[in-house]
A and B are shown apart, each in its own frame.
Chain A
Amino acid sequence: MKQMDKTRLPALFAATLLATTALVTWSAEAKTLRWARSQDATTLDPHSGNTGPNHVLGHNIYEPLVIRGFDGKLVGALATSWRVLPDNPSVWEFKLRPNVKFHNGNAFTADDVVFSIKRALMPAADMKSLLVSVEDVTKVDDLTVQFKTKGPNPLLVNNLTNLFIMDKEWSEANNAATPQNLKEKTENGATRNANGTGPFTLVSREPDVRTVVKKNDAYWGNAEYNHGITEIVYRPIPEAATRVAALLSGEIDYLQDVPVQDIARLQTAQGIKVEAGPENRPIFLGFNIGLPELRSSDVKGKNPLADVRVRQAINTAINRDAIQRVTMRGQSEPVGMVWSRFINGYDKAMDTWPKYDVAAAKKLLADAGYPNGFSITLHTTNDRYVNDEGIAQSVVAMLGQIGVKVTLVAHSLRVHFPGIQRGEYDFYLLGWGIPTFDSHYIFNDLYRTKTPSAGTWNGTGLSNAELDAKIDSLNSEVDTAKRNATIVDIWKWIKENDVYAPIHVQFIAGAMRSEWTIPTDVENTPKMKFLGASRS
């Protein structure tokens, strides 16, 4: 940790220096931000797909009730204040921002919020998975709405940060009252057109080629958010080498998804700087502890991973510093749990990992009855996380040192993810983003017993009724202190049981021409309206 801070200091200093010089020349001229990343939004329909690229584009044009800044902090957008009703913990009340207009001039009211939330709850809307707890949305008056949840949900507001509000009148007039259904043969009005309240208005949209937005002069927040951008041209470039070349040749200003191997070169390139920082996404290995016998191991009749000492041995044999230094070229931060420091429930004291020690790991294996190790297959993606296959290769080599013979299977996320969900792997690599910034999101999908509605990504076979009860209690506990105590309890259980071997939190890097300063967004969805705030 110390070492990394030292190397990052000069870069930070340089960035600040450049930022100050940029400030001087800023306000006078019109600014176009030419922005490229690896993939385009699949649609402009804000409720159709729940994916990062869709939200990135959506945040320019549309607005949610509440929004997260670059640092992950919650700020009001279309809502000015929100609370749980004191006399009824199952009802959230949002006060809406007055005098807000949609891009076509329509006034924004509670009706639009009710319409949008109900639209996002429809079967064809992917965003509904964030609203499972919502029973009903009602309008109290023109600037007040209430969400009624199925039992108390203290975290509802965290789920609304990417839930964009559409104009009811416009949507109904333009064949966009429901999200695109794949059975329909006609194009939905919201797929390529948009009418939001956001800081930018849509100028043109060519899917996969170019999307242009220009500054919304009637935006309510223009005084508050002085981003200085007059136009954004957003272009997806999937091919990494071309993406980097386009930045070097000056055809684009800002590049998201910078390949790790190019960071060093871009840092030294004239007129270009790189901003890197941790994403809210831990990367870890999962152990299948539920099977009576592993499918890929030479140990028959029993499951070595079911023994916590074996899991500890593997945890001890992984040299996280080496992975950070060599495989990741410094672009990661080791973690001791499947979490990140941005979430509610994070505890620095618990964020520790066993010291890399081959002898100790060998002893643990011998104690568990495997002095000569065993064989096993590790499954990993090769197209999802930063250097995912490289990490897995390092793990294979490290485990070889303690006699665990690992066969590596690297494949596409399209094959890998369904495999995890079906519980087909003995040992696998996975990463987990935490959009609600709360521990429950980790527990519910990775640690809870697998059912059709929970434990979706729990490929470990872990099933512990006591743990499940604790996890489920977080859903409705409104007393924050009590809730946080349960979270600590659960993390303690996790620490003792090592069902996963956490590796690191990966960094995301953005590169830009030096007149720009766009910090790393912990959700990897930079919202350009906050740029002014970050410069001052």
Chain B
Amino acid sequence: MTAFILRRLLQSLGVLIAVALIAFLMFRFVGDPVNQMVGIDTPQAEVERLRQELGLNDPVLVQIARFIANAARFEFGISYQFRLPVTQLLAERAPATLELALVSAIFSLAVGIPMGVYTALRRDSALAKAFQAVSLVGVSLPTFLIGILLIYLFSVTLGWLPSFGRGQVVKLGNGWSTGLLTTSGLKALILPAITLGLFQMTLIMRLVRAEMLEVLRTDYIKFARARGLKTRAIHFGHALKNTLVPVITIAGLQLGSIIAFAIITETVFQWPGMGLLFLKAVQSVDIPIMAAYLMMIGFLFVVINLIVDLLYALVDPRLRATIGSA
């Protein structure tokens, strides 16, 4: 088991180096960072000097090597635009993104699973059909548009919820800022969380529905019925439980993408998280932030994958044997 985890962690190093490599190759096409840093009337000589100082004239491979050497020591440098250490900037933004991701994940599970169960059990009811229609909207409309529509409905027209920002935040001891403890913070969380979670919610609903339908056809459910068990016990004690194994896997993997792809939702709602920071970094060619963010997301996916693999092993004894001997 330990050997398995160690080997996976070593592999993840390879993944991260690959991410750094691809990132730096791409940075050359994003534009010129120095141009974004200086005023418009800066003479060419000064621009050249700055470029030299930042090491932008070095070959790409040298730049990558330098970045990886620094990253190994958790040194990501100073942001070109904010003139603040990148690690500090990311750490300040992380709570906003993580809270948003967590709440939308809970939302998508708490709403998606019951909807999925309902649509599977009462396939022909009007409500189930309505749920199906809503899920179609969730899958097909882009996040951006959903966000704007929600803003126009709930902020501009009805005036119930704020259209942007995070509301009042409270600082907890070690610098974690939370919006979960104030009314304005909670209100500000509703629209972004729904926007971000809607796609996952539909995904989970459809998954649960399909799995439920599958399980309800199996022999052991038929036997359970034949034994005269209560419908409720069959549906929730046996069918749903067996449905949840793949749902947990997907939900776990999706948490990674919720964090990584919060970028669009954060932009629409001016949510001060890491995604917004990354997008701004792309706009101003802030290479230190872009590089650090991509590395972090790469690492996140590696870790989540590892955890999911380990969970598999816990859930399925057959896999445990192969992992243990490997």
Contacts and interface: CB of A to CB of B under 8 A. Distances in A.
B44 interface: yes
Contacts of B156: 245, 248-249
A238 B45 contact: no
A242 B159 contact: no
A191 B83 contact: yes
Contacts of B83: 42-43, 45, 48, 180, 182, 187-188, 191
Interface in B46-97: 46-49, 53-54, 75, 77-78, 80-85, 88-89
A245 B45 contact: no
B30 A414 contact: yes
Nearest to B269: A242
B292 to A, nearest CB: 14
B115 interface: no
B32 A239 contact: no
B39 A185 contact: no
B37 interface: yes
Contact of A50 (B38, B78, B152): B38
A219 interface: no
A182 B85 CA distance: 9
Interface stretch (A143-151, A202-210, A364-372, A505-513): A202-210
A182 B88 contact: no
B312 interface: no
Nearest to A383: B283
Contacts of B135: none
A206 B179 CA distance: 15
Secondary structure of the A side of the interface? loop
A180 to B, nearest CB: 4
Contact of B38 (A126, A132, A413, A454): A126
Contact of B267 (A207, A239, A453, A454): A239
Interface in A423-450: 433, 435, 441, 445, 450
Nearest to A45: B83
Interface residues of B, number: 54
A191 B54 contact: no
Given A187-B85, A235-B165, A414-B30, A433 B267 contact: no
B35 interface: yes
A440 to B, nearest CB: 11
Interface in B128-179: 148, 151-152, 155-156, 159, 162-166
A238 B267 contact: yes
A239 B83 CA distance: 23
A42 B39 contact: no
A238 B275 CA distance: 13
Interface in A34-76: 42-43, 45, 48-51
A433 B40 CA distance: 9
Given A180-B83, A414-B285, A454 B43 contact: yes
A301 interface: no
B268 interface: yes
Contact of A412 (B31, B48, B78, B82): B31
Contacts of A412: 31
Interface string A124-152: 00110110100000000000000000000
Contacts of A250: 159
Given A48-B83, A237-B270, A452 B44 contact: yes
Interface string B276-297: 1101100111000000000000
Contacts of B155: 245-246, 249, 251
Contacts of B35: 413-414, 417-418, 421
A415 interface: yes
Contact of B81 (A42, A184, A249): A42
Given A129-B38, A249-B155, A453 B165 contact: no
B272 interface: yes
A243 to B, nearest CB: 8
Contacts of B276: 208
A456 interface: yes
Interface string A14-49: 000000000000000000000000000011010011
Interface in A383-436: 412-415, 417-418, 421, 433, 435
Interface in A212-271: 235-239, 241-242, 245-246, 248-251
B151 A415 contact: no
Contacts of A210: 165
| Interchain residue pairs A-B with the least CB separation, the first 9 | A414-B31, A50-B39, A452-B45, A180-B83, A418-B32, A249-B155, A209-B272, A453-B43, A245-B163
Interface of A: 42-43, 45, 48-51, 123, 126-127, 129-130, 132, 180, 182-188, 191-192, 206-210, 235-239, 241-242, 245-246, 248-251, 412-415, 417-418, 421, 433, 435, 441, 445, 450-454, 456-457
26 contacts: A43-B83, A129-B39, A129-B42, A130-B41, A180-B83, A182-B54, A183-B78, A187-B83, A187-B88, A188-B83, A207-B84, A209-B166, A209-B272, A235-B165, A235-B270, A236-B270, A238-B280, A241-B268, A242-B148, A245-B164, A412-B31, A414-B32, A418-B35, A433-B40, A453-B45, A454-B43
